Amino acid sequence: MRFREFHKNVKTRIYVMFAFGTVQAMTFPFMAIYFAKSIGETTTGILLTLSVAASMVSGAIGGYYADKIGRKKLMVLSEAVFLLSYVLMAVANSPWLHSPWLTFIGFFITNICWGVYGPADEAMLLDVTTANNRELMYAIFYWVNNLTIAVGSSIGAIFFESYRFELFGAMSLVVLASLLATVFLIEETYVPVHGNGHANEHGHHPSATKNGIIHNYVKVLRDRVFVRYVLGGVFVMATEFQLSNYIGIHLAKVIPNQPLLALRNFVLHIDGVKLLGFLQTENTILVVLFAAFATTISRRFPDKRVLAVGLFLQVLGYSVMTVTGSVGLLLVAMLFATIGEVASVPARQAYLGDLAPHHARSSYVAVNGMAFGGSRILASLGVVVGVFTPNWMMGILSMGVGVLGIALYLSVVNPALARRKNVHSLSA
């Protein structure tokens, strides 16, 4: 499988993601700091929590309607509102107006739009790919995503404080280009067929009201294999999200300011906070360097073995970070964690396409997206537990949660492959 053989939708989304992800990384990683300085840390914490909750709710709604009216309509609607939101944020940070509250309103709306857009977008990608090329597609998206973070956040770190208007203006132009690409280049991949065999003129059906969103997701959650897949993601990602929670606090406590590198008259000092930044940078750089090998690994070894070894290295790496205060060991632990992450992410994402039935893909994607919120909540609870627990115990707890996630993931492999074979036999 070569890049040019992908469906037009996939290639378009990769190009758009590179541009969109780069300019987004120039602004979004710094929004919490901006709001904290402008409206206070406590208020910012509450508002950011509300925005995450709103994104999760809108994700559930977006997933439901993407399976009822199709993918493209929701994508176009979301991007149109995206555009208005970024224009609002640009105006709120312009030479003529400075309003943190208007900026937050725009930020809040973009989070809602992401919730609506995400399930439709990913379901569309699943619609136009097969089990044979999904791992390659996810590997490319994974690589591009990390590359945009590395490039965009580096630019944003330099310009965000003094050039917010220009950055939000650039974001608006890129979103406009993305909207035009969706309208003119993206093909609709799913037209719902209802009881009489035809969708009505609006793409709706009276049964949509009867079934309702809640009933729709109750049916999704009755799929026990898929629920194990989601829970596996929650537990594994919770160990990774500790980096910005318990691990960060742990490093700030146990690593004093010390020289890391001395060259003649230049001495590079490091402390726990700076080391956390180094670890995050190491992770991003290694992903960009190693992601190209992910598909090679998946072709040479069985999926289940790649998944098991990759997940174990990832969980082990982050668990070691909860215990040690050695700079060298922390850097090595991040190396192992990143190798495991690169090896396992494309494989476990590809299984989503096998588990999600065609008629409910957006709903399945929406539920899977909630795993990120669940992981962040679990990682945040680790901070509370860490107050009363020694480091070695936190390491054991982290490893235990991670191993539970690995077991859940591995329990899904055979059922997922069975569903893949059923799809192939039906399409043959």
Q: Tens digit of pLDDT for each residue in 130-142?
A: 877 888 888 888 8
What CATH number does residue 53 fall under?
Answer: 1.20.1250.20
Of the candidates 344, 285, 346, 335, the residue with the CA atom closest to the CA atom of residue 147: 285
Q: Residue 195 pLDDT > 60, yes or no?
A: no
Same domain, 219 and 176: no
Please name the amino acid found at residue 235. Answer: F
Per the domain annotation, does 205 fall within a domain?
no
Question: Between 90 and 161, whose confidence is greater?
Answer: 90
Long-range CB contacts (within 8 A, 24+) of 28-36? 29/153, 29/156, 30/156, 30/157, 30/160, 31/107, 34/100, 34/103, 34/160, 34/164, 35/100, 35/103, 35/104
**Domain match, 171 and 216 both:** no
Which DSSP helix (H) or strand (E) runs through 404?
helix 391-427
Selection from 170, 113, 192 nearest residue 357 by Cα:
192
Same domain for 230 and 179?
no
Q: Do residues 251 and 397 share a domain?
A: yes
Instruction: Show which of 143, 169, 184 is a domain's final residue.
Output: 184
> Average of pLDDT values for 316-320?
95
* 106 membership: H or E segment, kind and range: helix 100-127
Contact 249, 385 (CB under 8 A): no
Task: Report if residue 158 sits inside a domain.
Answer: yes
Task: Please state the rounded mean pLDDT for residues 146-154.
Answer: 83
> Does 23 fall in a domain?
yes
Q: Which residue has the higher pLDDT, 211 or 23?
A: 23
Residues 154 and 79 in one domain: yes
Q: If pLDDT is split at 50, 70 and 90, which confidence band does 319 have?
A: very high
Question: Are 149 and 268 members of one domain?
Answer: no
Based on the fold, state whether residues 142 and 243 are members of the same structural domain. Answer: no
| The pTM of the whole model exceeds 0.85 | no
Which residues share a beta bridge with 259?
Answer: 269
pLDDT of residue 424: 56
Q: What pLDDT is attached to residue 210? A: 43
pLDDT score, position 125: 92
Whether 91 is in a domain gets the answer yes
pLDDT, average across residues 227-256 = 87
Residue 1 and residue 100 in one domain: yes
Q: Which residue segment(s) compose the domain that 146 sits in? A: 1-184
Find which of 14-18, 278-282, 285-289 is predicted with most confidence, using mean pLDDT: 14-18
Same domain membership, residue 170 and residue 125:
yes
Read off the pLDDT band of 399 (50, 70, 90): very high
Q: What does the pLDDT read at residue 253?
A: 84
Paired tokens of 376: 């962040």
Where do the H-state alpha helices sit in 185-302?
207-221, 224-241, 246-254, 272-290, 294-300
**Domain count of the chain?**
2
Contacts of 405 (CB under 8 A, 6+ apart): 231, 232, 233, 234, 235, 236, 237, 238, 239, 311, 315
Give SS3 for 84: helix
- Give the side-chain half-sphere CA count within 13 A for 366: 32
Q: Are residues 170 and 261 in the same domain?
A: no
- At residue 199, the pLDDT reads 45
